[in-house]
Amino acid sequence: MTDRIITAHPLTREAFAPFGDVIETEGAHHYPINDGRCERYHDLARVEANGPNARVLVSLFKGTPYAFPLKLSMVERHPLGSQAFMPLSPAPFLVVVCPDTDDGPGEPQAFLTLPGQGVNYPPNRWHGVLTPIGTPQDFLVVDRGGDGSNLEEFHFSHPYEIRLPESAGA
Ligand SMILES: NC(=O)N[C@@H](O)C(=O)O
Ligand code: NI
């Protein structure tokens, strides 16, 4: 069976709204602090840390790039907490999420970020693992620590082929 082909679309707050938060200054509520010497872009993502001894973790991920077209055979989710990825370099990366169905994750939705955009997945949002494009990329990651299992994986019976839009080049 040929792989089912999914082409990534540009990430926008509106398009991603059913799946999670886009972390960006564009369109965000902001206000000056520190006597006007700093602008606060406020409350961009909902962080959740649930379950026994839950706490919020701040980590750094050094991501290795993936080749494209990408073979997507697995997605995962974190039932006990959210997970946010904020790139530390101005390069796009790939975001893959799936709607929920009665039988597990539905058809993947692929998004290509603008340089500087980050994303936050709410608890239980099926997503692909961190996917840098073309070059290694570091991320600040805010997610949940604590007791209990916070990782579920789903392996597709047939992988998807994820393609970048023509303009992306990788
Ligand atoms: N496992 C881990 O910390 N990272 C994944 O959850 C991921 O979404 O990349
Ligand atoms: Ni994850």
Q: What is the mean pLDDT of the segment spanning 158-166?
A: 95
The answer to whether residues 125 and 81 touch, using CB atoms and an 8 Å cutoff, is no
Question: Is residue 2 pLDDT above 80, yes or no?
Answer: no
Q: Confirm if 57 and 142 have CB atoms less than 8 A apart.
A: yes
Q: Is the pLDDT of residue 168 over 90?
A: no
Query: Could you state, in order of their start, the residue ranges of all structural domains in the chain?
Result: 2-168
The ligand 1 site (C-beta within 6 Å) comprises 76, 83, 127, 129-130
Residue 127 Cα: closest atom of ligand 1: 8
What predicted TM-score, i.e. pTM, was given to this entire model? 0.96
- Per residue in 80-135, pLDDT (tens digit) is 999 999 999 999 999 999 999 999 999 999 999 999 999 999 999 999 999 999 99
DSSP string, 3-34: PEEEE-EE--HHHHTTT-EEE-STT--EEEET
> What residues contact residue 62 under an 8 Å CB cut-off, 6+ apart?
136, 138
Query: Which of 80, 125, 151, 153 has the most ligand 1 atoms within 8 A of CB, as the residue to mutate?
Result: 151
Which pLDDT does position 3 carry in this prediction?
66
Residue to mutate (ligand 1; options 57, 83, 153; most atoms within 8 A of CB): 83
Q: What is the ipTM of this complex?
A: 0.93
Amino acid 74: pLDDT = 98
pLDDT recorded at residue 26: 96
**What confidence tens digit (pLDDT) does each residue in 30-82 have?**
999 999 999 999 999 999 999 999 999 999 999 999 999 999 999 999 999 99
Mutate to test the pocket of ligand 1, among 56, 64, 72, 76 (most ligand atoms within 8 A of CB): 76
Residues 6+ apart with CB under 8 A from 102: none
Among protein residues, the one whose CA lies closest to atom 5 of ligand 1:
129
Two tokens, residue 58? 């701040």
pLDDT given for residue 166 in this prediction? 84
Return the CATH number of 2-168, one of 3.40.50.460, 2.60.120.480, 3.40.228.10, 1.10.357.10.
Answer: 2.60.120.480
